[in-house]
Chains A and B, each alone.
Chain A
Amino acid sequence: MNNIGLEHILFVSIALFFIGCYGFMTRRNLITMLMSVELVLNSVNINFIAFNKYLFAGKLDGVFFTIFIITIAAAEAAVAIAIIINLYRHYKSIDVEDADQMRF
């Protein structure tokens, strides 16, 4: 346990991924669900960086994937929050159970 290897970092990222999954399954509030998705995306980023560092130190591909994921996550968060604010204007609530107009 003395020197930190790939598996230690993979443990952190896997745990963070499933914490995000747990949050996504239990939360019913759109903003907190968005936060859970951010946790999942971040765990994927840790994976890319760790594999790049410990297995493919001669390349930079993991770094590029991480940069693109961060960019897309930012775009996704902005669009999601625009949708959430629009939804709040219609329903005065951002609970997913209340936004049921498009059901069935």
Chain B
Amino acid sequence: MNSLQFIVIAANKIIFLTASTIIFYILAAIVLGGGLLAVTSRKIFRSAIYLLFSLIGIAGLYFYMNYEFIAAVQIVVYVGGIVVLIIFSIFLTHEAGADMKRPAWTRIIFAALAALFGFALVMMLVRDNEFYPSGAPAVDAGAGSIGSQMLSTTEHGYILPFEVVSMLLLAAMIGCIVIAIKSRTPGTETADNQSRRDAFGTTDNL
């Protein structure tokens, strides 16, 4: 094949990109770019915002695959819950705008090499593997069918994991309160607390 032919074929491929394909590439770029910036940015607040973009891109991927309920859950739980929690904890523990220390070069190099080789290995395995679709007709993945299967007690129901995970959430909530509660023993007030109380009239704000 000479180069002219190759260019014509490449141009054809670019021209016949469908809107769906373009949307997928945009979403993938948002997800991967946001993720890369989230793990490399040296300002921790920006890092959290890049994580937010990456998570929204993942919700977009779920929309792309027609799982609207999962996309909604992703936005509500991750974007509305976890990222907000992370941002609050950044405000509680960091000076806003301060740069983080740059990690050692050897660590960056070896971590990048490990990640690259792992990526290459898994991509090679995925390339070599053949996937066989089951061919079954697609079922409705709306909230109604998900909810009725999750709460059913028949053979394919998920009621037991549902109950177990609800216990786990309760335990996690109580555990958070127990861990983060401020133990207040009399007579051990630090100078830091003292000055803070003088400034604000209370020590409750951390």
- Closest Cβ of chain B to A84, distance in Å, is 6
User: Which residues 171-198 of B sit at the A interface, judged by CB distance below 8 A?
Assistant: 172-173, 175-177, 179-180, 182
Which of under 10, 10 to 19, 20 to 34, or 35 or more describes the interface residues of A?
A: 35 or more
Given contacts A19-B39, A39-B38, whether A60 and B145 have CB atoms under 8 Å apart is yes
CB contact between A57 and one of B51, B62, B139, B172 (< 8 Å): that residue: B139
Contact A45 B21 (CB under 8 A): no
Residue total for B at the interface (Cβ-Cβ under 8 A): 86
B69 to nearest A CB, angstroms?
A: 8
Kindly state whether residue B20 has any CB partner on chain A within 8 Å: yes
A28–B86 alpha-carbon span in the complex (Å):
16
Given contacts A49-B67, A82-B180, are A59 and B139 in contact (CB under 8 A)?
yes
B137 touches A58 (CB 8 A): yes
Number of A-B contacts (CB under 8 A): 228
Known: A14-B123, A39-B35. A32 touches B172 (CB 8 A): no
The residue on A at minimum CB distance from B157 is A64
- State the CA gap A11–B28 with chains docked (Å): 9
Contact B70 A57 (CB under 8 A): no
The reply to whether A23 and B134 form a contact with Cβ atoms under 8 Å apart is no
**Residue B133 is within 8 A (CB to CB) of chain A in the complex:** yes
Q: How far is the CA of A8 from the CA of B24 in the complex (A)?
A: 9
In the bound complex, do residue B161 and residue A16 qualify as a contact, i.e. CB atoms below 8 Å apart? no
Distance, CA A24 to CA B20, complexed state (A): 33
A4, A18, A20 — most chain B CB neighbours (10 Å): A18
Known: A18-B118, A79-B179. A54 touches B133 (CB 8 A): yes
Contact of A73 among B38, B47, B82 (CB under 8 A): B82
CB <8 Å contact, A19 and B115: yes
| Interface-centre pick from A28, A70, A82 (highest chain B CB count, 10 A) | A82
CB distance from A45 to the nearest CB of B (A): 7
Please, how many angstroms separate the alpha-carbon atoms of A96 and B138 in the complex? Answer: 47
